[in-house]
Chains A and B, each alone.
Chain A
Amino acid sequence: MVLLGIDTSAKAASVAICDETQLLAEAMVNTKLTHSQTIMPMVQSMLENAHIALNQVDAFAVSAGPGSFTGLRIGIAAVKGMAMALNKPCVAVSTLEALAYNLRGFEGIICAVMDARCNQVYTASFRAHSGAVERLTEDSALPIEELIRQLTQFQEPVFFVGDGAGLCYNNKNVCLFDARLAPEHMVNQSAASVCRLALERMKAEPLAAVGAEAISPVYLRLPQAERELRQKQAAL
C-alpha cells in the first residue's frame, strides 16, 4: 500500500509518500508561497526524485480541516483531481489529529492548536501513551482563554503542537499547568503525519477510504460568529 498525502491547511504546505512501514519521500515549504502554485510542482518533483510513478500510488490522504479556508480547498481539490483521474480511494483526516501524530511516541497530553485569528484557535486534545494516540476532545473552535482554562485540569505535561502552539504557550495563564512546546521541527502540520494517521484509520476502519467525490473540507464554526462583527452605529 503506497499512500500519497497532502497538507495545505495552514501557512506551510507539505506532501509525502509512505507505505505501511516507512516514510518514502516528503517535501514541504513554509515560505508564505501560494499553495495553489507550489503544491502540484512539489508532488511532481517528489515523485520524480523518489522514482515513483503516480499510478503506483494506491490511495490518497489529505487533511480536510479545520484550517485556512483557501488552503483546505486547494489540498482537497488537488487530491480529488489525482484520485478521480486514477480512480483511487481517498482518506480525509482531521488536521488536528494529524498534528497530534507529529508527537506520537511522546508521553503526555497533546494539545493540537491552530491559529483561527481574533484570539481563537481550532483545537483538540489527545493522550499519547506507549506509541498510541488517543483522542480526548472533539475538534472545536474556541477562544484561547477558554482552551487554557480547560487544560488546567490535566496533571500531566501538555505538549502544544500546531501553528497556534506558540500563541498558546505564551499565554499568561499557561503557568497553571505543565505546558511544553513541541520542538520547532515537529510543530507544523505535516503530510507525513497525515499519511501515518490515514494508514492507521484504514487499518482500523475498512470504510475509511472513500471515493474522491465523497471528501470535502471540514470548516468549524467560529465562536465569534455569534458576535457583532460590524462597528456599532452608536460608535460611528
Chain B
Amino acid sequence: MERYLSHSTQDTETIAETYAKSVKPNDVLAFFGGLGAGKTAFIRGLARGLGVKGEVLSPTFALVHEYEGTVPLYHFDMYRVTSFEDLYSTGFFDYLDTGAVIAVEWSENIVSALPKGYKKISLNRISDEEREIIIEESV
C-alpha cells in the first residue's frame, strides 16, 4: 500500500504523474472518492505521465474517453452506470486485456465487476485543499 498527502490539485497531478511510471499495460485503476475528491486531476497527471498530449476531461456524458500515449489510456466515468446491462453497453469488458491502461472514475458503482488484481486508488478529503491518496492492490 502506498499513501500520499496532497496539498493541492497541482500536487495531486504531480503525484499521479510520478505514479504513471509504475503503471503497466492492462492495469485497471479504480478510483474511489466522491465529487471534488480529485479523481479527474489524478487522471490528468497520470495521462501526462503516460505521454498523452492534450486535454483530459471527465467523460461524464461520453462514458469513456480514449487518449493516445505511450500506451492507450481509456478513461471511464461510471457515475451514471447502475446495472450490468449499462456496464456491458459501455463496452467496458471489451477494453480489458487489450494492452491498454484503464482508469475508472466512480468505481463504487461497478465494484462487483472489477477484474481481479485491480489497483484501488482512494482519494479522501482532509480539508478544502488537502487529500489523502491511498493506492493498494485488490485481492
Contact = CB atoms under 8 A, between A and B. Distances in A.
Closest A-B pairs by Cβ, 3 of them:
A231-B111, A225-B84, A70-B91
A115 B83 CA distance: 19
Nearest to A236: B108
Given A69-B89, A222-B88, A118 B112 contact: yes
A229 B83 contact: yes
Contacts of A236: 108
A201 B113 CA distance: 37
Nearest to A231: B111
Given A32-B97, A69-B89, A224 B109 contact: no
Interface of B: 81-85, 87-91, 93-94, 96-99, 108-113, 115
A97 B109 CA distance: 34
Given A68-B93, A231-B109, 11 more contacts: A32-B98, A68-B91, A116-B93, A118-B84, A222-B85, A222-B88, A228-B112, A229-B81, A229-B111, A230-B109, A230-B111
A227 interface: yes
A35 to B, nearest CB: 9
A74 B94 CA distance: 12
A68 B94 contact: yes
Interface string A81-114: 0000000000000000000000000000000000
A131 B111 CA distance: 46
Nearest to A67: B94
A221 B83 CA distance: 11
A219 interface: yes
Contacts of B109: 229-231
Contact of B84 (A32, A229, A231): A229
Given A222-B85, A229-B84, A236-B108, A117 B91 contact: no
Contacts of B89: 69
15 contacts: A32-B97, A69-B88, A69-B90, A69-B94, A70-B91, A222-B84, A225-B84, A225-B85, A227-B112, A228-B112, A229-B81, A229-B111, A229-B113, A230-B109, A231-B108
A230 B94 contact: no
Nearest to B86: A229
B17 to A, nearest CB: 27
A229 B110 contact: yes
